[in-house]
Structure 1
Amino acid sequence: MKDFFKIQFLLIMLMSAFMVSCNRTDDETPDFPEGTTEYTNRWIQDSMRRYYYWAEQMPAKPDYHLPVKDFFKSLLSPQDRFSFIVNTTDPETYPKSVRNLFGFDYAIIQLQGGEVITVIKLVLKNSPASNSGLERGMIIKKINGQVITASNAQQLAESISAKTVIDLSVGNWQNGAIINEKNVTVYYGYSQEQPLISKIFEQNGKKTGYLYIYDFPDGITSALNQKFNEFKSTGIQELILDLRYNYGGSVSSAAALCAMIAPGISANSQFIIYKGNKNGGEVKRTFSQQIAYDPGALSFNALHAHSLGLYKVYVLTSKSTASAAEIVINNLKPYMEVFQVGDETLGKDMAGFSIEDKRQPKKITWQIHPVIYKVFNANGEGGYVNGISPQFTVNEFNNLPLLPLGDPNETLLSHVLSKIYSKKGDTDFDGNKVKVLFQSDSPAAAFSGLNFK
C-alpha cells in the first residue's frame, strides 16, 4: 500500500482530507492544539469519514483522548480485518511477521498418528533465513530453546516478532523421523525482491507451463512479459499459476498478468469494479486503464502480444493467497475457466490506498491504511469475504517432506500435472491426512496491502 491513488478527482478529495484539520466547519467537534494526540486523532477521524468503506458505522463521538492506535481501532467496523495505521517515524508501529523479519514461514501440523511437528513451508530467496541455511521442508524442533507445541505456537510466533535474532533447532524429515539435526541462528534482515519461478513440463507431446509468483509489486510487467514470451514461443497448451503464498500487492500488476492469459479480450475489456462509500462511489476500469496506473508498466498491447489465449488455467492456492492474488482468480472467471487447487484463499475482497499528511512541513507523521473499496469482476461478482474455495481441495502437507516449489512431484503441482496428463475426473478430493494447527503467516496476511493502483 505504498502508492497513492492518481485519478484526478479523487486526488483532489484526498488532498482535501489532508487539509481538513485546518478547515473544519463542524462545530460539534472541538479544535485541538497542533502536536497533541487529540489533534492527530481528529485528522484520522476526518480522513476515515471521507474514505473508509464503513464510514457510516463509525462512532459519532469517539474519545479523542485515546492513544492514536486505540483511537483508530475504535473507529473500525467489526467486519474490518485489514485496516491498520503506522507512525512513519516509529518502526515499532509497523506490522511484523516471521516472514518480513526473517524471510521464512512455518506450519504446525498434526500427523495421522497424533504426532505434532513444525514444517518450514517457505524460505524467501536472498533472505536472512536462506543465508542461514534454512530450506523448505525442514522441520523445526525448537525456537529459542523452546519445543514448539500447539498450545504455545501463537505465543512463540509473537515472541519472534519482538526479536532481532532467533535460534532454531532444525532437521530433515525422512521416513517419519527427524534426521540431521543442527542448530541455526537467523538474524533479522531485509529480503530481496523475489524472482519468478517458471518451468515447462512435457508429456506425450503436450506442454504445460508453471509459474510461481510470490507477490504483485509495481514494475513486475517486464519480468512477466519475458516469462510469457518463453511460454508462447515454446507452445505451451496448459498453464499452472502458483499463488499459494502470494499476499497480493498492485492491482495493476495483477491486471497485467491476466492480460497475458485470458482469451478474447481487448484493451477496452472491463477488468475490475471498485465500490466505495457514498463519497467513493463506483469506479470501473478496463484492462488498459488498470495496467496504466503502474507508471513503469508495459502497455496492454505490448503485454497482450504474448498472450497465451488459453481457455482454462490452473491456480494453486492456500489461506495465504490474498488480495491481488484473489483478484487474479476472480477476475479471470468472466473470460475463461479457472480451476483452483489447494486450500481456500484468505478472503480479502477489498482495496485501498495509504493516506498521510501532505502538508509542508508535515504536521502529522501517522499514515492510515484503510479499507476503501470492495472489488468485483467484470460480471459484478465478488463478495468472497470468507475466501475463494477451490474446486479441488488438496493439503500440501499430506506428503512430507515438502519438496521445492516447481518440483513436479510436489503435492499441489503433481496433483494438477496428473489431472492434465492422466485425465482424472473433476470430482476427486484429496482430503486431509494431516491437520494444520497453526501457520506463522496467518496474522501477517491480514496486513497484506491490496494497492488500488
Structure 2
Amino acid sequence: MRNFLKLQCIAMIAILMSCTNNDENIPAFPEGSTESVNVWVQDSMKRYYYWADQMPAKPDYHLPVKDFFKSLLSSQDRFSFIVNTEDSSSYPRSIRNMYGFDYTVLQLANGEVVTVIKLVLKNSPAFNAGLERGMIITKINGKTVTAANAETMTASMKDFTVLDLTLGDWKNGTITDEKEVKVYYGLSLEQPILSRIFEKNGKKVGYLYIYDFPDGMTSVFNQKFAEFKAAGVQELILDLRYNYGGSVSAAAALCSLIPSGISSGSSFILFKGNKNGGQVKRTFAQQIAYDPKALDFNTLRANALGLSKVYILTSNSTASAAEIVINNLKPYLQVIQIGNTTLGKDMAGFTVEDRRKPKHISWQIHPVIYKVFNADGSGEYSNGISPQITVNEYAELPLLPLGDPDETLISSVLNGTYLKSAGHDGLEKDVKILYQSDLNFMQGQK
C-alpha cells in the first residue's frame, strides 16, 4: 500500500497479538469466525487506541469486521482505519491513488463554477495521459461537473477503471481548446522532490516541493541541502501544500537540516498515548534513527543551513508528518506559514497486525495511538494549523506549475508582500473553494 495511504508512523511495527481474551463476559467464539476476529480487534484497540477509554463496553461482536471496528471509534477520531490484506477493495481509495491527480471545484468572483486540476503526480496514469496542473475539467464520463454533483461524481469515479475527461485550458478568463482524454486506473511511482533556487532582493532562496515523507528520504534531503549550502542559499521555502505526511523520522531529518542552534540531544517530539502507551519523548537524533535507512543526525547537520526563519506553504491537504514539520520547528526558528489552514492530523500511529506463522487473521489495523507535541509542549491542532498569512492558491488562473516563481504562493514569498493584486485575468481574491477531491478521502474513509 502506498505511503500516502498510511497514517504517519513512528515506525511500521508489526504487532503479534493473541486472539484470546480474559474477559469472562466475552463468549469463546470459534477461531476464524468473524466474532473471533472482532475480539482480536477489540483487544488490540484496548491496548493501543488513544481513545481506548471511550470504547463501548458491550460492542456487537456479530457485526462485519469493518462495521465492528467503526463501532469502537471515538467521535473525535477522523483517521483510524482497518483493511483486510486479502481484499484490495477494503483499502481506502481515492482519485489520487487510483489515477494520480486531484482537483478543486471553484466559484469565481463572477459566479462561474470551474473545476481545476491542482495536482498531477509524476509518471502517474494522469501524467501519462497528458493531464497538467491548471487544466480545467468540464466533464467527467460525459457529465458536466457542478458544485452540486462534484462530491457524488468523485465517489463514483472510484468504481471505474477508466475515466473519460473533457479538458480545456484557461485563457483570458474563458475555457479554450477542449479535448477528450482517457485516464486508466494504475499505480503511481514514488514522487521526486522538486528543488529550485530563486533570487530575492539579492539573496538566494532555496525552494523544495515535498510530496510526502516516506522512510529512506534522509540521503535525498542531505543531497538537496548540500546543493543549497554550496550555492549560498540564505532563505528557504518548503512547499508542503499537498503533503499527506508519512514517516515522523523523515520529518525529523528534514527539520534537522534547517535551523541553527540544535544538537543531537535537542528535543524534537513528545508522543502522548493512552494509559498503556504513556508519554514518549524523542530527540532529533533518536527520532531520525527510527528509520533504519537514515543518515545519522551529525551527518545531516554538516549540510544544515542554520536559518533563523523558514517559509512553509500549506493547504487543507497538508497533514500529519507535514504538520509536525510546521509545529515542531517553531521552538527553534521563526516559521512563516503561507496559504491555507492545514488538515489537523495532530496524531501518530503504527500498524497492528497478526504476525503469527501461519497468519490466523488477515486484517490490519491503523489506529490513532498518540497525540503529538513539540519541544515546548505545544500541540492540539486538530482543527488545523492556521497560517500567519492566508493566500488563496486559486486567486489567479490558470494555476502555474509547482516551482514556477510566478505561481501564487511562491510569488507571495518572493515578492515579500504575501499578497498580490487581482490576477491578470481580472480574477479577484474572493474565489471560493467549493469542493476538493482529496479531503473526503483523507478523513472520511478511514
Same fold per superposition (TM over 0.5): yes
> What displacement does 1:443 show?
1.6
Cα distance between partner residues in 1 of 2:373 and 2:405: 34
Structure 1 residues 127 and 137: alpha-carbon distance in aligned structure 2, compared to 1, 3 A threshold = same
| Counterpart residue identity of residue 282, structure 2 | R
Cα distance between partner residues in 2 of 1:325 and 1:394: 19
1:113-169 deviation line (CA, Å, top 9, x unaligned): 000000000000000000000000000000000000111111100011111111000
Structure 1 residues 295 and 2: alpha-carbon distance in aligned structure 2, compared to 1, 3 A threshold = farther
Check if 1:342 corresponds to 2:331. no
Q: Contact 2:10–2:248 (CA<8 Å) still a contact in 1?
A: no
Cα distance between partner residues in 2 of 1:197 and 1:35: 48
Cα distance between partner residues in 1 of 2:45 and 2:419: 46
Q: Contact 2:118–2:399 (CA<8 Å) still a contact in 1?
A: yes
Check if 1:70 corresponds to 2:67. yes
2:104 corresponds to: 107
1:389-400 mapped onto 2 (5 Å cutoff) = 389-400=386-397
Cα distance between partner residues in 1 of 2:23 and 2:122: 52
2:87 corresponds to: 90
Check if 1:240 corresponds to 2:242. no
2:254 corresponds to: 257
1:218 corresponds to: 215
Q: Which range moved further: 428-437 or 179-188?
A: 428-437
1:147-162 mapped onto 2 (5 Å cutoff) = 147-162=144-159
In structure 1, which of residues 21, 37, 49 is the aligned counterpart of residue 34 of structure 2? 37
Which SS does the other structure have where 2:68 is aligned? helix
2:3 corresponds to: none
Cα distance between partner residues in 1 of 2:173 and 2:96: 27
> What displacement does 1:262 show?
1.5
Cα distance between partner residues in 1 of 2:230 and 2:301: 14
Check if 1:194 corresponds to 2:186. no
Cα distance between partner residues in 2 of 1:242 and 1:407: 12
Check if 1:291 corresponds to 2:288. yes
1:372 corresponds to: 369
Q: Contact 1:201–1:207 (CA<8 Å) still a contact in 2?
A: yes
1:383 corresponds to: 380
2:137 corresponds to: 140
1:312 corresponds to: 309
Cα distance between partner residues in 2 of 1:128 and 1:427: 35
Which SS does the other structure have where 2:415 is aligned? helix
Which SS does the other structure have where 1:226 is aligned? helix
- Structure 2 unaligned blocks of 5 or more: 1-5, 423-427
Which SS does the other structure have where 2:286 is aligned? helix
> Percent identical across equivalent pairs?
66
Structure 1 residues 139 and 429: alpha-carbon distance in aligned structure 2, compared to 1, 3 A threshold = closer
Q: Contact 1:392–1:429 (CA<8 Å) still a contact in 2?
A: no
> What displacement does 1:30 show?
0.9
Cα distance between partner residues in 2 of 1:158 and 1:88: 22
Cα distance between partner residues in 2 of 1:154 and 1:228: 40
In structure 2, which of residues 400, 412, 416 is the aligned counterpart of residue 415 of structure 1? 412
> What displacement does 1:361 show?
1.1
- Structure 1 unaligned blocks of 5 or more: none
Cα distance between partner residues in 2 of 1:239 and 1:199: 10
2:433 corresponds to: 436
Cα distance between partner residues in 1 of 2:168 and 2:402: 19
> What displacement does 1:428 show?
9.3
> What displacement does 1:372 show?
0.2
Structure 1 residues 201 and 254: alpha-carbon distance in aligned structure 2, compared to 1, 3 A threshold = same
> What displacement does 1:444 show?
2.3
Which SS does the other structure have where 1:396 is aligned? coil
Q: Which structure has more helix as a fraction of its residues?
A: 1
In structure 1, which of residues 331, 353, 357 is the aligned counterpart of residue 354 of structure 2? 357
1:69-94 deviation line (CA, Å, top 9, x unaligned): 11000000000000000000000000
Structure 1 residues 332 and 216: alpha-carbon distance in aligned structure 2, compared to 1, 3 A threshold = same
In structure 2, which of residues 110, 125, 130 is the aligned counterpart of residue 128 of structure 1? 125
Cα distance between partner residues in 2 of 1:236 and 1:4: 31
Cα distance between partner residues in 2 of 1:429 and 1:54: 47
Structure 1 residues 219 and 255: alpha-carbon distance in aligned structure 2, compared to 1, 3 A threshold = same
Which SS does the other structure have where 1:398 is aligned? coil
In structure 2, which of residues 167, 173, 193 is the aligned counterpart of residue 176 of structure 1? 173
1:282 corresponds to: 279
Q: Contact 1:322–1:448 (CA<8 Å) still a contact in 2?
A: no
| Counterpart residue identity of residue 29, structure 1 | I
> What displacement does 1:427 show?
9.6
Which SS does the other structure have where 1:310 is aligned? coil
Structure 1 residues 35 and 213: alpha-carbon distance in aligned structure 2, compared to 1, 3 A threshold = same
Which SS does the other structure have where 1:27 is aligned? coil
Cα distance between partner residues in 2 of 1:117 and 1:290: 43
For the aligned residues, what is the CA RMSD? 1.9
| Counterpart residue identity of residue 190, structure 1 | L
> What displacement does 1:445 show?
2.2
Structure 1 residues 379 and 318: alpha-carbon distance in aligned structure 2, compared to 1, 3 A threshold = same
Cα distance between partner residues in 1 of 2:100 and 2:213: 17
Structure 1 residues 6 and 237: alpha-carbon distance in aligned structure 2, compared to 1, 3 A threshold = closer
1:247-279 deviation line (CA, Å, top 9, x unaligned): 000000000000000110001100000000000
2:161 corresponds to: 164
Q: How many residues align?
A: 436
| Counterpart residue identity of residue 414, structure 2 | L
